[in-house]
Structure 1
Amino acid sequence: MRGGSSIAGELFNCDPAATMWYEPGDAFFSSYYGLHHENLPQNDLYFRNMTRRKLNRDELEANVDFYNNIFSCNYERLPPEVMAHSFLGQSTAMDGYVKCRRKVTRTKHLDIITCKRHISHTCSRKMVETSLNSNCHIVIRALNTITKSNPSVRNERSLLKLVQKHLHENGFNIPIGDENNLLQFVKHGHCIEIMRSDNFKCLHLAKKKCQTDNLLVVQVNRMKMEDLEPVIKTNPDMRVIHYTRDPRAIAFSRSRTGILIFDKINRSSVREAEFVCHKMREDLKQRLILEKKYPDVFTHLTYESLATDPERFARRIYEMLNKTYPEEWKPFVAKHMYGKSEGSMFGITVKNATRTAFRWRSKIPKYQLDMINGFCGDVITGLGYQL
């Protein structure tokens, strides 16, 4: 977050022959753990004490399948929350699907949050840790299994008994609450199935666009670098852009906007930089390992190179792909990266990109900068930045 990946994604969103997915991982965790959507990445990936959690085996396998289905245009196999998510509205390629689905659902007043409210009292609106402790993912998976194997069973009480039987037979002795509490999961499941049906009525539009496009791009902020290998193996023509921003700039931007992950009380750039560098250090380490195994897959690009020379940035990416970058990129750059306004906290905004990229240099006090350079030095230089 605050790394500029959304504005980099607009390069592909400008391409008429590309489909750009903006961080679908949010919908994955919403479906897997019963969370509300539009969540913050740290709530999915970290515990409350800010240690990074390791995905369990089933979760990792589901995550890999999730991205493989996106890359294969198998949208019908995605959790319904994905094709009902608000982020699709950002993608130009999804415009036809989004408009179609809006017509289908305009009188139903049913969305992701409506479905999740059934289980919010047991699970969490936003924290994976809470849902994990409540075993929400186990009940949701059990219900999904029962629904797929018993499509003719619609009665909620009948489904409830089947879920109870499934949990018992598979050794899940979980304290999920009384029977009425478990019934709310069944209601949640019914709500999600209605969503699936609504999605399906328009899904052909999204699939057709995906199948005819020659480029499919996914913004991934919720996956560790080390977890990418199974996806790379399954998709031999896949290319990975490791897109970074100077960690000092990220920490400064978060402290300025008040969306710090680590030290929300003191709004300290120093503490935030320490947190950011720990994550970036691990990703850099794993990328260097994977690059040796897959030498033609990875490319490292920076927000700073985008901000200073967006045309060269675009040309480098499309040369790697043996394609010509879209002419539509130039007017986007003129409007959204070199306007007078500094923009807002989130999203694709009008701003002076070069000034934004390097403002931290004159704003972070020297004593703080020395501290950050001390514990982030290896990451800063490893990513090609200067101390």
Structure 2
Amino acid sequence: MEQDHFVRSGYDVSYTQSPNTKPIYILLMTYMRGGSSFLGEMFNQNPKVFYWFEPLAETFKKIMGMIDSRNWFLHDDLSLRWFSPRKKKTIFKLLSSIFSCKIDALPEYVLKHNFATNMFWNKSLSLNSYRECLEAKPNVTCRSFGQESHNPSVGRLKRILCSKDRHFGIRPRNIDLELSNTGLHRELKSLLDKLFHQRSSLYYTDDHLSRKLLPLENSSKDIQPYRGYLNTKVRRCSANILTVCKQRPIHVIKTVRMRMDLVLQLLNAIPELKVVYEWRNPLGILNSRWSSSKYHRISNFTLDTDILCKQMNFDLVTSDRLKAKFPNSMTVIKYEDLADNTIGSVSGLYGDLGIGSIPDSIFSWIVDNTKAETTSGPLSTKKNATAVVRQWKSQLDKTIINYIKDKCRDVLKLMNYDDELLL
């Protein structure tokens, strides 16, 4: 194995690469509700692709705090959010570790995140063998959890946490069965659902776990063996990720947590990286956000619009600098084109990226997921894609449409969305 180092731009991000193979690295970048999940499936469904969906989700939460997603890159006053060299290094090292299959360099909170561990979350099919390993029957380490405790609640907790096939895929009903007649039921049900089933990671301090899980003995000693078991199992099972990563010649990361100036610096570190920048009409992005209960805040439509248009304009201008310095590194695709002519658009994209023809698995996925008679919800990729693209025309108020068109005037022009599309 040949050891190289990304030392450009002051970022030392090491990776290991086989001398006999040279994987293709692809970064899919767009905006929240910009159609990236749909685009991502064009790679996720390809058996030659190692695909990771939103690996920066927990990292952004940790390095930036629980800020609103619309403020990841800009403040409410429309000024750019500053990323310290340390934060940039954290982001770049994580991405490069995935691209180069250096899985042991990934923080445990990335490997424990719901996007990676949830067996019912098929956005990263490359991680399925990892998830299956996590859900295997617990070993003796887990069974020894809390064995020295005389508190009966610890025993009940152990039965929940160490039950067969449930330590990562735990559901509230599992807790109902074990704790239905105890005073601990309500708090554990709420907390464990958050720990194992929602989008938070399993990574908490011992003190936090003591306060939340153990009104039992006011000590973390009973939970520490279980945390140790989980961490050990995550590391052991992550070998499955490494195997899949090394077997596949195309490595793809999809993220909405990226700004174009960061991409430019990432290219300085990984010049062979290919970037796919997905455009979507900001009217469609904002309507999609407001249609989702998770992001719904149409009462703030002016601020939402101002922030999105400012960020898109910044990214578009910066992308010109990127293309001048790395003329063969960026490919642009419009979500509207992808929805209207999925097979043609994906064929063209694959050609631009030099990754061959579309496999049968993607043809099948396109047929199954783009002509649904009804949509499956705003967070689903199974829908009539052509109809969804222009839903904003019937769902947005005329006043809001005009405001967005005015504020995003430069963006719409730079993206070549002509007046006919906007009428």
| Residues 109-128 of structure 1, C-alpha deviations (whole Å, 9 max, x = no match) | 4756453375779xxxxxxx
Q: Of the candidates 292, 310, 314, which is equivalent to residue 282 of structure 1?
A: 314
| Structure 1 Cα separation of the partners of residues 371 and 300 of structure 2 | 29
Partner residue of 1:342? 375
Which residue identity does 1:67 align to in structure 2? Answer: L
Secondary structure class of the residue paired with 1:202: helix
RMSD after superposition: 3.1
Provide closer, same or farther for how the CA distance between residues 202 and 40 of structure 1 changes in structure 2, counting only shifts above 3 A: farther
| Structure 2 Cα separation of the partners of residues 10 and 275 of structure 1 | 28
| Structure 2 Cα separation of the partners of residues 120 and 53 of structure 1 | 30
TM-score w.r.t. the length of structure 1 is: 0.73
| Residues 105-157 of structure 1, C-alpha deviations (whole Å, 9 max, x = no match) | 67284756453375779xxxxxxxxxxxxxxxxxxxxxxxxxxxxxxxxxxxx
Contact 1:104 1:198 in 2 (8 A): no
Contact 1:280 1:379 in 2 (8 A): yes
Partner residue of 2:131? 98
Q: How does 1:135-284 map to 2 (within 5 A)?
A: 194-260=229-295, 264=297, 266=299, 268=301, 270-284=302-316
Contact 1:97 1:202 in 2 (8 A): yes
Partner residue of 1:27? 58
Provide closer, same or farther for how the CA distance between residues 104 and 59 of structure 1 changes in structure 2, counting only shifts above 3 A: farther
Contact 2:70 2:308 in 1 (8 A): no
Contact 2:52 2:126 in 1 (8 A): no
Q: Of the candidates 43, 49, 73, which is equivalent to residue 12 of structure 1?
A: 43
Provide closer, same or farther for how the CA distance between residues 360 and 265 of structure 1 changes in structure 2, counting only shifts above 3 A: closer
Which residue identity does 1:103 align to in structure 2? Answer: A
| Residues 154-205 of structure 1, C-alpha deviations (whole Å, 9 max, x = no match) | xxxxxxxxxxxxxxxxxxxxxxxxxxxxx99x99999876544222211221
Moved more, 278-287 or 249-258: 249-258
1:324 maps onto 2:357 in alignment: yes
Which residue identity does 1:351 align to in structure 2? Answer: K
The unaligned stretches of length 5 or more in structure 2 are: 1-31, 139-160, 169-195, 210-218
| Residues 195-225 of structure 1, C-alpha deviations (whole Å, 9 max, x = no match) | 4422221122111111111111101211211
Partner residue of 1:116? 204
Q: Of the candidates 162, 166, 189, which is equivalent to residue 107 of structure 1?
A: 162
Contact 1:307 1:357 in 2 (8 A): yes
| Structure 2 Cα separation of the partners of residues 225 and 187 of structure 1 | 46
Which residue identity does 1:240 align to in structure 2? Answer: V
Provide closer, same or farther for how the CA distance between residues 230 and 368 of structure 1 changes in structure 2, counting only shifts above 3 A: closer
Contact 1:97 1:206 in 2 (8 A): yes
Provide closer, same or farther for how the CA distance between residues 280 and 242 of structure 1 changes in structure 2, counting only shifts above 3 A: same
Partner residue of 1:69? 97
Residue 369 of structure 1 deviates from its aligned partner by 2.5
* Aligned length, in residue pairs: 318
Residue 231 of structure 1 deviates from its aligned partner by 2.4
Residue 82 of structure 1 deviates from its aligned partner by 1.2
Which residue identity does 2:55 align to in structure 1? Answer: P
| Structure 1 Cα separation of the partners of residues 388 and 275 of structure 2 | 26
Residue 296 of structure 1 deviates from its aligned partner by 0.1
Secondary structure class of the residue paired with 2:203: helix
TM-score w.r.t. the length of structure 2 is: 0.67
1:296 maps onto 2:384 in alignment: no
Which residue identity does 1:355 align to in structure 2? Answer: A
Q: Structure 1 or 2: larger helix share?
A: 1
Residue 368 of structure 1 deviates from its aligned partner by 3.1
The unaligned stretches of length 5 or more in structure 1 are: 122-182
Residue 376 of structure 1 deviates from its aligned partner by 0.8
Moved more, 235-244 or 361-370: 361-370
Contact 1:84 1:195 in 2 (8 A): no
Residue 254 of structure 1 deviates from its aligned partner by 2.0
Q: Percent identity?
A: 23
Residue 345 of structure 1 deviates from its aligned partner by 2.5
Residue 31 of structure 1 deviates from its aligned partner by 5.0
Q: Of the candidates 78, 82, 88, which is equivalent to residue 110 of structure 2?
A: 82
| Residues 201-257 of structure 1, C-alpha deviations (whole Å, 9 max, x = no match) | 112211111111111110121121101233223333311000121001111222233
Secondary structure class of the residue paired with 1:274: helix
Partner residue of 2:33? 2
